[in-house]
Amino acid sequence: MYTPSEVRTLTPIRESVEERASVPDLRDTFLCHAWDDRKGAAKELHDLLVSKDVSVWFSEKDVLLGSSLLREIDKGLARSRVGIVLVTPAFLRRVNAEGIADKELSALLARDLLVPIVHYTTYEALREVSPLLGSRSGLSTAEEPMTEIVAKLAELVTLED
């Protein structure tokens, strides 16, 4: 399913996924996205991942009314194997505005467990806003459909028993 170059670039992430497997209440992924995408592209990505039996920390599902959004995000980040960053035009605007998506991105960039998914934008536009995220190997919906991207993510994060 992966090209040889994808295998080479994703192998260190796979090794980190396996190392984090002992964290209690661990989710396979943390879905970082722009608030504007929560009912559109982010929900679609979440639903497709869940359909592949990938456990996803997703603010729309995991932050209860009345709880501290930042604290819940912090816990979600700590209890996730891999960060998926859904990079959309809205995400690029939010990161520039230094909102919550920017804080999530900062925490994810501190770890090697990060896969950008570029959707309705380009890596060039991403590199203008975040050279560090833009330098990460990732996937683009301009090159393959979201269903294929989700299949690759599911293969990456799902551990065999």
64: domain CATH number is: 3.40.50.10140
**pLDDT tens digit sequence for 1-21:** 566 665 555 565 556 555 545
What pLDDT shows up at residue 66?
Answer: 87
- What is the β-pairing status of strands 80-87 and 27-32? parallel
Of 34-43, 114-123, 151-160, where does mean pLDDT reach its minimum? Answer: 151-160
* Domain ranges, residue 147: 4-20+29-157
In the sheet with 27-32, reading across from the earlier edge strand, the strands are 56-57, 27-32, 80-87, 114-118, 139-140
**pLDDT tens digit sequence for 17-66:** 555 455 557 899 999 999 999 999 999 999 999 999 999 999 989 988 88
For the segment 103-108, the average pLDDT, to the nearest whole number, is: 90
3-state SS assignment for residue 19: helix
Q: Tell me how crowded residue 122 is: count the other CB atoms within 10 A of its CB.
A: 13
Compute the residue count for the chain.
161
Express the helix, strand and coil content of the chain in percent, nearest 5 each. Answer: 55, 15, 30
Q: Which residue's entry shows tokens 């592949």?
A: 52
Dist. CA 97–CA 45, nearest whole Å: 24
Domain count, the chain: 1
Q: Which residue's entry shows tokens 């912090």?
A: 74
Query: For helices 4-19 and 146-157, what crossing angle results, to 10°?
Result: 50
